[in-house]
Amino acid sequence: MTAMRQLRHRFATFLRDEDGLILAESLIMLPLLIWAMVAMFIYWDVFRTINVTQKAAYGIADLLSRQRDTISLNYANGLQNIMDFLTPGGHPVKMRITSIQYVAATGKYKLLFSFSPNSKAGKATPLTETEVQAWKGTKVPTLNDGESVFVLETEVAFKTQMKTVLAGLLIGVDDGTYGQFIVTRPRHRRLCLEGTTTCT
């Protein structure tokens, strides 16, 4: 009977003993804390890349909207330097500037020019007049006869800074392409590019 009481007493003492409890809880929570720190870093990098690129793209669109009719090739190529300056330490950004004018008689857009300056990420392929027709009623608002707008497109190939299984599988962030599609009306009649024959 005494042995049974001693066993019960020892078992009860064991259940009440809290020595090492903090260590055990720490070991359970440590993986979750590591995951949260990695996730915050990666998500912050994604949103920072999108945000900085978006602000830079709107700044360049505003610069273009203030130009009178024709911009030079040097000016158009120099816009890439501005983009690089406005996105310091970020991922390389491709740009494409496309200027269009609506012709009511045909019900189509006239392509004034489509141009992409050189960048560290390469050049975007210039668009054709056939390709810009797909924007009608979807990406570009309805225009009046002779009205002109230009579209600034940007593309960033995002690369995850922490290439780990933890980043790819558990956090759900992988390499991807992010971009902007900004439609802007010029403050003057239209935006043309030096050396093109479509702005007549």
User: For 122-163, how does the pLDDT look when each residue is reduced to its tens digit (9 = 90+)?
Assistant: 888 999 999 999 998 889 988 999 999 999 999 988 777 665
Question: Over the stretch 6-43, which tens digit does the pLDDT of each residue have?
Answer: 777 776 776 666 665 677 777 788 877 877 777 777 77
pTM of the shown model: 0.75
Q: Can you give the pLDDT at residue 189?
A: 86
Helices 73-86 and 21-65: angle between axes, nearest 10 degrees: 160
Contact 173, 160 (CB under 8 A): yes
Q: Can you give the pLDDT at residue 19?
A: 64
Q: Can you give the pLDDT at residue 112?
A: 94
Residue 76, CA atoms < 13 Å, CB-side half-sphere:
23
Q: Can you give the pLDDT at residue 123?
A: 85
Angstrom CA distances, 105 to 102, 111, 134, stand at 9, 15, 18
* Locus of tokens 């009205």: 147
Residues near 43 by beta carbon (within 8 Å), at least 6 away in sequence: 171, 173
Confidence of residue 79 (pLDDT cuts 50, 70, 90): very high
Residue 189, CA atoms < 13 Å, CB-side half-sphere:
8
On average, the pLDDT of the chain sits at 83
Identity (one letter) of the amino acid at 143?
L
Q: Which of 21-30, 76-85, 139-148, 176-185 has the lowest mean pLDDT?
A: 21-30
